[in-house]
């Protein structure tokens, strides 16, 4: 009887202990979930435009002045607050996804504080590339971006944001003046592309301005009086706020900034430029790779890809060296079959029909969000490249692949399949839409890290043959051109910002190794001149994903499933490469044990 009572007591104690442990784990998860939710709320309150993009409309009448001292001070304080809280989180009992959230947020906050502590880009807020807020705001104002224009309130909210942009312009000019005084400017050659981008935004009739476009699609439920008043108020805001702000920025850049901008290409000639480049490499690659390693890896990759290009040249029967082959591809009329912009866009749209039957052989996870192909707006085409805009969270706005089509008759078709894979499917659209639709905390849904996102898109290009594309050898040459472009970036980015290459030397290197026009080579180099480190992230990310795939194949043998691997890479959203590698290594080990 005593034995039985003792046994029952032990069972009761074990049950109570187990229940206590379970309750503790539940409480830890709840505490972490609450912390992450609160972080996102405070982050979005500080970053209203990003809140709008995420479908959070509480701050739709505000914009963040990210280049102001006040914003930087608040952001650093927010980051430090949550770093302190994350440091004391009890990790015992947390799920793998919860641990990943702790690790990722800690990494992101430290990385962002390092960028802010060193004022990276702070004194160079305007350039010709698509990242520049001065032209990006015009895209938002055109109605083509994440800003809603569905109600009268939406329009009046954006009038308030126009006023915020006016403040941003004043801050940008103040920062650029300090940059000039501190010998910290953008290159003159790149900045000379900015005035033509700004001019259409303040010149001409209000009704011809890109900011007027939302007034062409007013809500149907507005009565006539409200419609008249809204058009009047909105038009006045464009005329009295937007156009003067862009004119002010234009005048400063033309009259004061460009004459004082440095004539050299790289950061080496800027104050603390060498240190800044090291920090940008770390920020964009999410690794500790050095500039010297970047440069040497680029030379190796360029040599490897050139050999493959030689193979294509032999396959098509071209007589002559590789440089002559590039010239042929750049200039022969057969590579320019288009007459209209819509013909170019329709060719892109046709690729999905070809690859659709093959996608389920490579992917389990696919996005619910749709996507569209559009031409880049003319006002920003001068300094733009192809780009992807993420879909809205509610599915009402599709993901958008933008391509620059200046003159359809001069649009070369040979690399179109590769570009579609990168920007649309299964490149950026798959990666971004799957991330937004995943069951992960808000901050991970919104995360954007160049090495992962661009690395995935470049990796996706390597899947082209398996997707039924690249059957035309010239389209495969386009694939190799896409790959060598990213390898060339390693060489020229480090060349410009680490080895002191001139703009002209870097352009010559591009032309020597890629079948592109002199104008395209110039545009690319000027992009790298103002976005140090960003362009190298593509190749670093792609090579890491390939390395992890080959490691998994070697370890798992015939148990390796490419669909499972792709799921594992994509399902948790955008990760720093050092965290991705640890995660995939754990997945490989768990699969190996099961096998």
What mean pLDDT is predicted for residues 279-297? 97
Residue span of the structural domain in which 180 resides: 133-263
Q: Token pair of 355, please?
A: 């690859």
Give the domain-ending residue among 503, 527, 543. Answer: 543
Same domain, 38 and 137: no
Please say if the pLDDT value at position 531 is more than 70.
Answer: yes
Same domain, 422 and 537: yes
**350 lies in some domain:** yes
What whole-number distance in Å separates Cα of residue 184 and Cα of residue 165? 24
Please say if the pLDDT value at position 4 is more than 80.
Answer: no
Same domain, 203 and 299: no
Helix 96-117 and helix 69-87: axis angle, to 10°?
150
**329 lies in some domain:** yes
- Band (pLDDT 50/70/90 cuts) for residue 7 is low
Same domain, 414 and 372: yes
Q: What is the pLDDT of residue 21?
A: 47
Same domain, 285 and 416: yes
**594 lies in some domain:** no
What mean pLDDT is predicted for residues 485-492? 97
Please say if the pLDDT value at position 232 is more than 80.
Answer: yes
Q: Token pair of 70, please?
A: 């006040």
What whole-number distance in Å separates Cα of residue 512 and Cα of residue 485? 11
Summarize pLDDT for 332-364 with one digit per residue, the tens: 999 999 999 999 999 999 999 999 999 999 999
Q: What is the pLDDT of residue 385?
A: 73
**468 lies in some domain:** yes
Same domain, 394 and 424: yes
Same domain, 399 and 513: yes
Summarize pLDDT for 534-554 with one digit per residue, the tens: 999 999 999 999 999 999 999
Summarize pLDDT for 158-205 with one digit per residue, the tens: 999 999 999 999 999 999 999 999 999 999 999 999 999 999 999 999
Same domain, 285 and 229: no
Summarize pLDDT for 547-578 with one digit per residue, the tens: 999 999 999 999 999 999 999 999 999 999 99
Give the domain-ending residue among 221, 242, 263. Answer: 263
**590 lies in some domain:** no
Q: Where are the alpha helices (DSSP H) in 47-193?
A: 48-53, 69-87, 96-117, 133-141, 152-181, 188-191
CA distances to 180, 207, 209, 255 from 213, rounded to whole Å, are 36, 8, 8, 30
Same domain, 337 and 404: yes
- Candidates 202, 33, 13, 24; CA nearest to 105 is 33
Give the domain-ending residue among 500, 523, 543. Answer: 543
**353 lies in some domain:** yes
**57 lies in some domain:** no
Same domain, 226 and 283: no
Summarize pLDDT for 241-256 with one digit per residue, the tens: 999 999 999 999 999 9
Asked if 152 contacts 222 with a C-beta cutoff of 8 angstroms, the reply is yes
Same domain, 318 and 399: yes
Q: Which helix (H) or strand (E) holds 373?
A: strand 371-375
Domain count along the chain: 3
Same domain, 204 and 346: no
What whole-number distance in Å separates Cα of residue 254 and Cα of residue 249? 9
What mean pLDDT is predicted for residues 74-81? 98
Q: Which helix (H) or strand (E) holds 230?
A: helix 224-237
Task: For residue 127, report the phi and psi dihedrals to the nearest 5 degrees.
Answer: -150, -175
**101 lies in some domain:** yes
Q: What is the pLDDT of residue 382?
A: 61
pTM: 0.89
């Amino acid at each position: 009887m005593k034995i039985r009572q003792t046994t029952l007591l032990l069972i009761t104690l074990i049950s109570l202990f187990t229940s206590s442990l379970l309750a503790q784990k539940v409480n830890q998860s709840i505490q972490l979930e609450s912390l992450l939710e609160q972080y996102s709320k405070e982050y979005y309150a500080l970053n209203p435009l990003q809140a709008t993009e995420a479908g959070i409309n509480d701050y739709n009448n505000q914009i963040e002045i990210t280049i102001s001292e006040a914003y930087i001070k608040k952001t650093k304080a927010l980051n430090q607050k949550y770093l302190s809280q994350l440091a004391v989180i009890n990790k015992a009992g947390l799920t793998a996804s919860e641990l990943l959230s702790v690790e990722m947020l800690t990494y992101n906050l430290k990385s962002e504080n390092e960028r802010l502590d060193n004022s990276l880009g702070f004194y160079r807020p305007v350039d010709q590339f698509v990242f520049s807020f001065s032209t990006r705001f015009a895209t938002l104002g055109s109605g083509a971006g994440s800003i809603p224009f569905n109600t009268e309130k939406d329009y009046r909210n954006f009038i308030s944001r126009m006023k915020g942009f006016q403040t941003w312009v004043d801050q940008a000019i103040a920062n650029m003046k300090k940059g000039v005084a501190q010998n910290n400017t953008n290159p003159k050659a790149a900045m000379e592309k900015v005035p033509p981008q700004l001019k259409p935004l303040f010149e001409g009739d209000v009704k011809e301005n890109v900011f007027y476009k939302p007034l062409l699609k007013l809500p149907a439920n507005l009565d006539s009086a409200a419609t008249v008043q809204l058009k009047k108020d909105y038009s006045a805001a464009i005329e009295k706020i937007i156009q003067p702000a862009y004119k002010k920025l234009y005048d400063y850049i033309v009259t004061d900034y460009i004459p004082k901008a440095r004539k050299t290409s790289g950061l080496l000639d800027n104050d603390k430029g060498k240190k800044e480049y090291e920090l940008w490499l770390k920020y964009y690659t999410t690794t500790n790779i050095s500039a010297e390693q970047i440069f040497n890896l680029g030379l190796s990759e360029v040599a490897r890809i050139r050999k493959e290009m030689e193979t294509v040249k032999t396959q098509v029967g071209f007589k002559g060296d590789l440089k002559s082959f590039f010239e042929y591809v750049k200039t022969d009329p057969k590579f320019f079959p288009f007459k209209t912009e819509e013909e170019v866009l329709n060719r892109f749209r046709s690729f999905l029909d070809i690859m659709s039957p093959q996608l389920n052989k490579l992917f389990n996870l696919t996005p619910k969000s749709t996507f569209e192909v559009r031409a880049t707006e003319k006002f920003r085409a001068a300094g733009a490249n192809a780009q992807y805009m993420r879909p809205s969270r509610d599915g009402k706005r599709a993901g958008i692949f933008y391509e620059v089509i200046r003159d359809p008759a001069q649009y070369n078709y040979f690399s179109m399949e590769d570009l579609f894979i990168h920007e649309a499917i299964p490149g950026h659209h798959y990666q971004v839409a799957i991330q937004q639709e995943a069951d992960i905390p808000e901050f991970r849904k919104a995360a954007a890290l160049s090495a992962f996102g661009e690395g995935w898109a470049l990796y996706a290009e390597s899947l082209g043959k398996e997707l039924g594309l690249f059957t035309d050898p010239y389209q495969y040459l386009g694939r190799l051109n896409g790959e060598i472009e990213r390898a060339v970036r390693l060489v020229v980015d480090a060349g410009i910002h680490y080895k002191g290459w001139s703009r002209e030397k870097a352009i010559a290197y591009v032309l020597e190794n890629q079948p592109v026009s002199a104008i395209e080579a110039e545009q690319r180099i000027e992009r790298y001149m103002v976005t140090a480190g960003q362009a190298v992230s593509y190749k670093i990310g792609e090579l890491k994903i390939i390395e992890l795939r080959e490691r998994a194949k070697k370890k798992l043998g015939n148990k390796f499933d490419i669909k499972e691997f792709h799921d594992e890479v994509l399902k948790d959203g955008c990760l720093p490469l050092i965290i991705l590698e640890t995660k995939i290594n754990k997945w490989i080990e768990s699969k190996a044990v099961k096998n």
